[in-house]
Amino acid sequence: MTPFDWQRMLLDDFPLLFLAEVALRALFAFVGVFLFLKISGRRGIRQLSLFELVVILTLGSAAGDVSFYEDVPLLPIVAVFVTLLVLYRLTVLTMTHSERLSNWMEGKPVTIIKDGLYELNSLDRLNISSDEFFMELRQQGVEHLGQVRLGILETDGDVSLFFNDSEAVRPGLPVLPPEHRPTYRQAPSSGLFACTRCGFPSAIESQQTANCPRCGNQEWAKALRHPRAR
């Protein structure tokens, strides 16, 4: 083998006209995936469930093979697409009649914030970092947890938030980046602080340490009180 052989790297032994066949195969793959998504009933691809992601990855593998490999015929790929479509529709139909299967396949919405506090049982079983979750909250205009009456993690990964009215806002844990949210084990001054693990607010005297009465955490951030900007 000759290194940097441009003929081998660009086209190898295929004739130049094979590029036109590749273009046709790519068009076939594109139309096949598009028709699958249209027929399956999806209206958008903003967030995919785990089941849908598996289907899309399988489609992508089949579409990639038929696009680039000259020894992959078209009709078996059609059979793959039809099989996946039938499997998808049957699974969705079964899920509409079986709540247990639906919950197993898609999961359930999880309450993660209630009355300005983290739901500890939910946090312990979710695989999400606090920084990642804080980013989600900031993108929806949240500055501290006391502004949130209810927060729900949906099955597609989105976070749905329901806010307190301005007069009902509670003192809460700030969700700002670390440079705007210093944390303390010893209070620098007397005031109201929020537990960095669960958001529980507590009055702490200057230079004192405290354990959160709700979760036992010893790290605190200054609680914020102001309402959410509209």
Question: Beta-strand (E) ranges in 22-158?
Answer: 110-114, 117-118, 148-153
Q: Which domains does the chain have, with CATH numbers?
A: 14-104 (no CATH), 110-222 (3.30.240.20)
Q: What is the model's pLDDT at position 1?
A: 67
Q: What is the model's pLDDT at position 124?
A: 72
The mean predicted confidence, pLDDT, of the chain is: 84
The CB-based long-range contact list for 72-76 (8 Å cut-off, 24+ gap) reads 74/25, 74/28
Q: How confident is the model over 80-107, as pLDDT tens digits?
A: 788 888 888 888 888 888 888 877 777 7
Which residues on neighbouring strands pair with residue 159, listed in sequence order? 153
Cβ proximity of 202 and 195 under 8 Å: yes
Residue with tokens 């307190």: 164
Instruction: Round to whole Å and give the CA distance between 144 and 223.
Output: 8
Q: How confident is the model over 170-192, as pLDDT tens digits?
A: 999 999 998 889 999 999 999 99
Which residues on neighbouring strands pair with residue 160, listed in sequence order? 152
Question: Beta-strand (E) ranges in 105-190?
Answer: 110-114, 117-118, 148-153, 159-163, 183-184
pTM > 0.85: yes or no: no
Helix axes 50-68, 18-40, angle to 10 degrees: 160
Give the N- to C-terminal CA distance of the chain in Å, as an integer: 66
Instruction: Round to whole Å and give the CA distance between 214 and 201.
Output: 10
What number of residues does the chain have? 230
Cβ proximity of 224 and 199 under 8 Å: no
Please state, for a pLDDT cut of 90, what percent of the chain lies above it.
37
